[in-house]
Amino acid sequence: MHILFHASQEEIYGLWMIEELASHGYRLSPGTLYPMLHKMVEDGYLTVRSERDGRTTRKLYAATEKGRQGLALARERVRIFVREERDA
Ligand SMILES: [Zn+2]
């Protein structure tokens, strides 16, 4: 979810995402993150491309149209949820 948000803003890569999530207080290991990213690519929410950076190859992820729509939907749900909480 938060991954999708950032992937819709710009291309992201695994290590950056781990550091980003850490800044929010979420600790995620590569062993957890990469399967998640892989699953999101399989489900059509993200695209992935490889970019050679000197000796290493980095995988860059970006949100697809489906990913953006999923994000908008999730946001709408959160908004409704927050409203319900407030009105309760
Ligand atoms: Zn973030």
Domain ranges, ordered by start, for the chain: 2-87
Neighbours of ion ligand 1 (CB under 5 A): 20
Could you tell me the distance, in angstroms and rounded to a whole number, from the CA of residue 15 to the centre of ligand 1? 13
Average pLDDT over all residues of the chain: 90
Could you tell me the distance, in angstroms and rounded to a whole number, from the CA of residue 19 to the centre of ligand 1? 9
Structure tokens at 51: 């970019």
Fold of the domain spanning 2-87: Arc Repressor Mutant, subunit A (1.10.10)
Contact assessment for residue 59 and residue 50, using Cβ atoms and an 8 Å cutoff: yes
Identify the pLDDT of residue 88.
67
Per-residue pLDDT tens over the stretch 16-57: 999 999 998 989 899 999 999 999 999 999 999 999 988 888
Say how far apart CA 10 and CA 77 lie, in whole Å: 23
- C-alpha distance across the termini of the chain, in Å: 26
Burial state string for 64-74 with b = 16 or more CB within 10 A and e = fewer than 16? beebeebbeee
Structure tokens at 59: 């995988």
Could you tell me the distance, in angstroms and rounded to a whole number, from the CA of residue 24 to the centre of ligand 1? 7
Could you tell me the distance, in angstroms and rounded to a whole number, from the CA of residue 3 to the centre of ligand 1? 8
